Amino acid sequence: MGRIIRFFDERFDLSLIRNWIQHKSVPQHKHSFWYYFGGLALFLLMVQIITGILLAFYYSPNPANANESVRYIMGRVHYGWLIRSIHFWGANFLIAVVLVHMFSAFFMKAYRKPRELMWILGVVILGLVLTFSFTGYLLPWTTLSYFATKVGVNTPMVIPIIGDFISKIMQGGEDVGAATLTRMFTLHTVILPLITLALVSVHVLLSQVFGSSVPISVKHADGETRFFPTFLMRDAAVWSGTFAVLLAFATILPANLEGKVNPIMPAPAGIKPEWYFLFIFQTLKTIPEIAAVGVITMGGVVWLMVPFLDRKPSEGKPFFTLFGIGVVAYTLAMTVIAYVTTAQH
């Protein structure tokens, strides 16, 4: 090992990396626990990429074969049921962890100068993760995924002037069909991974440049922990435990596969999106669609611009903390209402 390192050191001068490894540290305080979620999100993204590549070996993105190829993966491919189930539950875990990471960064005001760009990238990455979920949902080509996607791609139609155009671009035509399936597959397996990996790389790079943010409420950190090897080992312990839980979910509750799309059948009763889209679904149901799309879009823009709106964050000014609590309360309330009302159907 020493000879290999020496080989590279003689040619590329590894002193910069060595210096970085020796000095990288993580602040220790009562909120340090939240630092683990960034690394955990990165780990789950890797799990999704690896299981996604394995699934792509067998998946066939055309309406004639899509459902059958997933059936083949589940029933015939060695451990295909496990890989697909890990991919399914991994997506849920990833979204949950990214949400926790984002809200913890918000409440610790980690978006404040000089980390504004990190915040913006983080919010965009959350959007990309949700888009991954939306595009992946259609791929098994089941009746439920077909009608749920139909609702999703028709929603932009309420936007004046450009709505119809956006909807057609998403569908690849007048209706959800073969073109939609290939578009969703291409987005899910090529375009989104490339954009996500690029943005995540910059996000991680910036976190190395600026280091971990210490919350304003922490006057004096309890010291620092060296990242190599102490914090990295704790990170790896969290990854190991999370993967054990993920494996348990995939084993006890494997991913379901319903029957193939039958577009002439009526939409299933009580159709509802995944848990992370329920608050949007309920907002669209509660107020006129055009107003709901406006509110959600504006909400997203305000959330993205928080570092520039909260110019002088300090402990004594709780406005943005209250705003964050409001966002969490609204999201949770709408999710619960949507869950309860659709469960009654």
Partner 1 sequence: MAAFLLLEGSFGQVADTLSTTIPSFTDRLNFALPLIVLLLILMLFLMLKSYESERSQ
Q: Measured from the CB of residue 238, what is the shortest distance to partner 1 in angstroms? A: 8
Residues in CB range of 338: below 8 A, 6 or more apart:
272, 278, 279, 281, 282, 285
- Residue 33 touching partner 1 (CB under 8 A): no
Query: Token digits for 294?
Result: 């406006």
- Report the residue number, 75 or 326, with the smaller CB distance to partner 1: 75
Q: Select from 5, 56, 64, 295 the one that contacts partner 1 (CB under 8 A).
A: 64
179 and 173 Cβ atoms separated by less than 8 Å: yes
Which one of the spans 6-14, 47-55, 239-247, 262-270 is the region binding partner 1 (CB under 8 A)? 239-247
State CA 214 to chain mean position distance: 24
- Report the residue number, 65 or 342, with the smaller CB distance to partner 1: 65
- Residue 263 touching partner 1 (CB under 8 A): no
- Residue 230 touching partner 1 (CB under 8 A): yes
Q: Select from 14, 191, 195, 247 the one that contacts partner 1 (CB under 8 A).
A: 247
Instruction: Give residue 273's identity as a one-letter amino acid code.
Output: P
Taking the CA atoms of 62, 67, 68 and 69 in sequence, report the sign of the dihedral they define: positive
Q: Select from 32, 51, 69, 171 the one that contacts partner 1 (CB under 8 A).
A: 69
Query: Which run of H or E residues covers position 25?
Result: strand 25-27
Q: Measured from the CB of residue 263, what is the shortest distance to partner 1 in angstroms? A: 15
How far apart are the C-alpha atoms of 323 and 153, rounded to whole Å?
30
Q: Measured from the CB of residue 81, what is the shortest distance to partner 1 in angstroms? A: 4
Which one of the spans 168-176, 226-234, 279-287, 290-298 is the region binding partner 1 (CB under 8 A)? 226-234
Whether residue 273 has a cis bond before it, omega within 30° of 0: no
Q: Give the CA count within 13 Å in the CB-facing half-sphere of 38.
A: 25
How far apart are the C-alpha atoms of 243 and 249, rounded to whole Å?
10
Q: Measured from the CB of residue 92, what is the shortest distance to partner 1 in angstroms? A: 18
- Judged on CB neighbours under 10 Å (0-12, 13-18, 19+), 64 is exposed
- Report the residue number, 76 or 113, with the smaller CB distance to partner 1: 76
Q: Measured from the CB of residue 11, what is the shortest distance to partner 1 in angstroms? A: 31
Q: Select from 9, 68, 164, 222 the one that contacts partner 1 (CB under 8 A).
A: 68
Residues of span 74-93 touching partner 1 by CB under 8 A:
74-76, 81-82
Q: Measured from the CB of residue 75, what is the shortest distance to partner 1 in angstroms? A: 5
Q: Select from 34, 107, 210, 243 the one that contacts partner 1 (CB under 8 A).
A: 243
3-state DSSP percent of the chain in helix, strand and coil, to 5: 70, 0, 25
How far apart are the C-alpha atoms of 176 and 154, rounded to whole Å?
10
Q: Select from 129, 250, 278, 338 the one that contacts partner 1 (CB under 8 A).
A: 250
User: Which residue from 39, 29, 32, 324 is spatially nearest to 203, judged by alpha carbons?
Assistant: 39
List, in sequence order, every residue forming a beta bridge with 122; answer none if it has no partner.
none
Report the interface residues with partner 1, using CB under 8 A.
58, 60, 62, 64-65, 67-69, 71-72, 74-76, 81-82, 225-226, 229-231, 233-234, 236-238, 240-241, 243-244, 247-248, 250-252, 254, 257, 260
